[in-house]
């Protein structure tokens, strides 16, 4: 299966059966992001479009639930944005309920486990 990111095209390397994730190689200069376990408290969703302050309100080994301030919510195409605490990636934005301003992120702990399993 091929994936297109902007002007780049790559091949999907792995799709776990039990997670809404796809792993793929990136052909270009990049560096590994430090990962950490999500903790309750302040966080940030950051991507090339903007940075949004949020708050992690609940966590488990596989997901982190975030509360976002109303007004400037993540939009289409921002799924997969990193959830950051203290300079470390603690998850990736998966979905958002626009009525409650709450989002769900896959935890970095689950992502690291899937990478290790591979």
Least confident stretch, 7-16, 18-27, 32-41, 84-93: 18-27
Distance set, CA 77 to CA 32, 48, 95 (Å): 22, 11, 11
CB 106 within 8 A of CB 114: no
Cβ–Cβ under 8 Å, residues 61 and 110: yes
* pLDDT tens readout for residues 87-111: 999 999 988 888 898 999 989 888 8
pLDDT value of residue 29: 65
Task: Summarize pLDDT for 31-88 with one digit per residue, the tens.
Answer: 778 899 999 999 999 888 888 999 999 998 889 999 998 887 887 778 888 999 999 9
The pTM score is 0.78
Q: What is the dihedral of CA 100, 103, 104, 108, to 10 degrees?
A: -150
Q: Which residue ranges form the domains of the chain, and what is each CATH number?
A: 41-113 (2.40.10.10)
């Amino acid at each position: 299966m091929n994936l297109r990111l902007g002007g780049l095209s790559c091949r999907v390397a792995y799709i776990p059966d039990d997670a809404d994730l796809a792993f793929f190689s990136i052909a270009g200069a990049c560096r590994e992001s430090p990962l950490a376990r999500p903790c309750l408290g302040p966080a940030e969703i950051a991507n090339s479009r903007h940075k949004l302050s949020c708050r992690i309100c609940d966590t488990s080994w596989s997901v982190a639930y975030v509360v976002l301030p109303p007004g400037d919510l993540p939009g289409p195409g921002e799924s997969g944005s990193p959830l950051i605490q203290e300079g470390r990636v603690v998850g990736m934005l998966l979905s958002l309920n626009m009525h409650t301003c709450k989002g769900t992120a896959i935890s970095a702990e689950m992502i690291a486990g899937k990478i290790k399993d591979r």
